[in-house]
Structure 1
Amino acid sequence: MSGALCPGSFDPVTKGHVNIFERVAAQFDTVVVTVVVNPNKRGMFTIEERIALIEEATAHLPNVRVASWQGLLVDFARQESLTAIVKGLRGMVDYDYEEQMANLNRSMTGVETLFMPADPSLSFVSSSYVKEIATHGGDVSGWVSPNVLTALQERIASPATGG
């Protein structure tokens, strides 16, 4: 049985992320979308909220589950018996950073990292841009699922509850 790990902060999950999850789910028996916990970063959404948003956005993918992890990603991959880490890339800047991480991960544990190019129609979408545009009243409905749009609107109206 093959399994892949799709890690990220997903604050919030976008249609670009979901597109990658869908494509990975078509290639692997099991996909674990992993919200990576960084105690040094405060997100707009808590880890639990991000997990819930991703679960709803991926409900149509029966072989996808969502988890969180704090620590070395390769340790999580080994613990879950996942054979690959899959990273979506929007361009060369993403590649330059991710290639170094992939080589480190393979060197430490033998876990391979596979790169999947972003869908060109979504390659400019990032969680950071979505949050910034939404915070300033812009329309991000084309880049996030309806559940994420609602959560963004609610969080912007009441920002003190973020994580």
Structure 2
Amino acid sequence: MIKLSEFESAVDIPNQFERLMGVWELRWSSSKSPVLNYSPLLNNFQILDLDKSRALNFLSPKGFLGKLLSTNILAKLDIIDQKRINVTFEKAGIIGPQVFGKNMVFLSEIKTAQTGWLDTTVLTDKLRVCRGYKGTTFALLKREDLLIADFFNPINN
């Protein structure tokens, strides 16, 4: 089904900028890694803020524990062409609960440069399919009920 969708899709990221921005939930992956695959027990989001050339990979348990702790990887994005986005991972760590009106944030610089790319092969209002530089295919659904700012505000404060 993914190959058929890719065959029928014409992706042009510079002209579909608004469609790509937002909160995307991982729903399927060809990876064997539990962190890169769908689990009904985890929130696994990719938040794309193209206006600021940044992304956040967000992983947390669903339910009460997810409100207390999430692991995060902050990345810089560079659009290369109609399908490819270069990704440079900059910080990794956890975001904890709010204490005195401010989230506890523990993000460390990634000392050794970690770079890669994603080719977006399908992009609709609801579905995004990507292929990563290591050969992994990802299928994500857009979450219209979640806002980009809700994920980046704890980092910005």
**Pairwise same-fold verdict (TM > 0.5):** no
TM-score between both structures, scaled by the size of structure 2: 0.30
* Greater RCO, 1 or 2 (C-alpha within 8 Å, sep 6+): 1
TM-score between both structures, scaled by the size of structure 1: 0.29
The answer to which structure has the higher strand fraction is 2
The answer to which structure has the higher helix fraction is 1
